[in-house]
Structure 1
């Protein structure tokens, strides 16, 4: 039974989450992208490569945390088993 309160639905194949299914998930993803672009100006990669990569790793960890908390439980998925190819 699908729960429509998940911000990030599971991918049909593989492990992880797909594109956000709610406006909260879309705002989260857009915020992540905006902060990523802002980081290019705050920590210019050509001047502070380690600082920029640390910033990207921190942002990515935060996004993964939100996906884990607000998305469908992660597990390996093999697609729609009831459908014939």
Structure 2
């Protein structure tokens, strides 16, 4: 069984991490991240900026965790390219 990655690794020379989503699941994760980030900005910021900062770090950590689990290994060539 082959691994179907949700996120493409960034090409060499473009930094470390992930770029565009490769599947609908990856697109859904990115969309949910941005919707929650905007919603958190609207709903959490009035209670204090420190709450929004904590929320943002938590959300970013969750996104990185999902990308690590479901994305191509960063720092390598994307599948099939050399």
Q: What interval of TM-score do these two structures reach, taking the shorter chain for normalisation?
A: 0.7 to 0.9
* Paired position in structure 1 for 2:6: 7
Larger radius of gyration: 1
C-alpha distance after superposition, 1:44-73 (max 9, x if no partner): 1x6511100000000000000000000011
- Provide runs of 4+ in structure 1 moved above 3 Å: none
CA distance in structure 1 between the aligned counterparts of 2:37 and 2:31, rounded to whole angstroms: 10
Structure 2: segments with no counterpart, 5+ residues: none
Structure 1: segments with no counterpart, 5+ residues: none
Cα RMSD for the two superposed structures: 2.1
* Paired position in structure 2 for 1:62: 62
Q: Name the TM-score, length of structure 1 as normaliser.
A: 0.78
CA distance in structure 1 between the aligned counterparts of 2:41 and 2:30, rounded to whole angstroms: 17
